[in-house]
Amino acid sequence: MISHLLTSHTQKIETSLVRELLHYSQQPDVLSLAGGLPDEKYMPAYPSLDVLADSRQYGPSEGEIRLREQVVSIVADRGLSTVADDVLITTGSQQGLDIISRLILDGDSTILTEQPTYLAACQVFSLQGATIHDVASDAQGMSLEALRQAIDAHHPKALYLIPNFQNPAGHCYSLQRRREIAALLDEKGILLIEDDPYRDLCYEQVDLTPICSLLKTAPWLYLGSFSKVLWPGVRTGYSVSCPAFSPYLVKVKQAIDLHTNRLGQEMVSYFLSSGGFPAHLVTLKEVYKHKRDVMAQALSSELGDLVTFALPAGGMFFWLRLPDGVSSTLVLEEALRENVLVLPGVPFFPSESPLKDSFLRLSFARVSLDDINKAVAVLAGVIKRLLTK
Whether 170 and 308 map to the same domain: the answer is no
Give SS3 for 83. Answer: coil
Counting the structural domains of the chain, the total is: 2
Q: Can you give the pLDDT at residue 313?
A: 98
Q: Can you give the pLDDT at residue 23?
A: 64
Query: What CATH code is carried by the domain that includes residue 38?
Result: 3.90.1150.10
173-220 pLDDT, tens digit each:
999 999 999 999 999 999 999 999 999 999 999 999 999 999 999 999
Whether 282 and 371 map to the same domain: the answer is yes
Q: Can you give the pLDDT at residue 29?
A: 86
136 is a domain residue: yes
Whether 83 and 219 map to the same domain: the answer is yes
Whether 121 and 189 map to the same domain: the answer is yes
Which residues face 115 on adjacent strands?
A: 136
215 is a domain residue: yes
48 is a domain residue: no
- The answer to whether residues 113 and 134 touch, using CB atoms and an 8 Å cutoff, is yes
Nearest Cα to Cα of residue 29 among 364, 339, 338, 334: 339
Q: Can you give the pLDDT at residue 11?
A: 67
pTM more than 0.85:
yes
Whether 118 and 265 map to the same domain: the answer is yes
Query: What CATH code is carried by the domain that includes residue 148?
Result: 3.40.640.10
Q: Strands 158-161 and 110-115, how do they pair?
A: parallel
Q: How far apart are CA 197 and CA 79, in angstroms?
A: 16
156 is a domain residue: yes
299-354 pLDDT, tens digit each:
999 999 999 999 999 999 999 999 999 999 999 999 999 999 999 999 999 988 88
- The answer to whether residues 345 and 360 touch, using CB atoms and an 8 Å cutoff, is yes
Residues of the chain with pLDDT under 50: none
Whether 309 and 360 map to the same domain: the answer is yes
The domain boundary residue, chosen from 256, 273, 290: 273
The domain boundary residue, chosen from 273, 289, 318: 273
Give the range of the structural domain holding residue 329, as residue numbers without chain letter. 3-43+278-388
Which helix (H) or strand (E) segment holds residue 133: the answer is strand 131-138
Whether 251 and 299 map to the same domain: the answer is no
Residue 53 CB neighbour total at 10 angstroms? 12
Q: Can you give the pLDDT at residue 354?
A: 84
The domain boundary residue, chosen from 273, 288, 318: 273
Q: How far apart are CA 163 and CA 263, in angstroms?
A: 31
Whether 235 and 262 map to the same domain: the answer is yes
Whether 225 and 89 map to the same domain: the answer is yes
Give SS3 for 192. Answer: strand
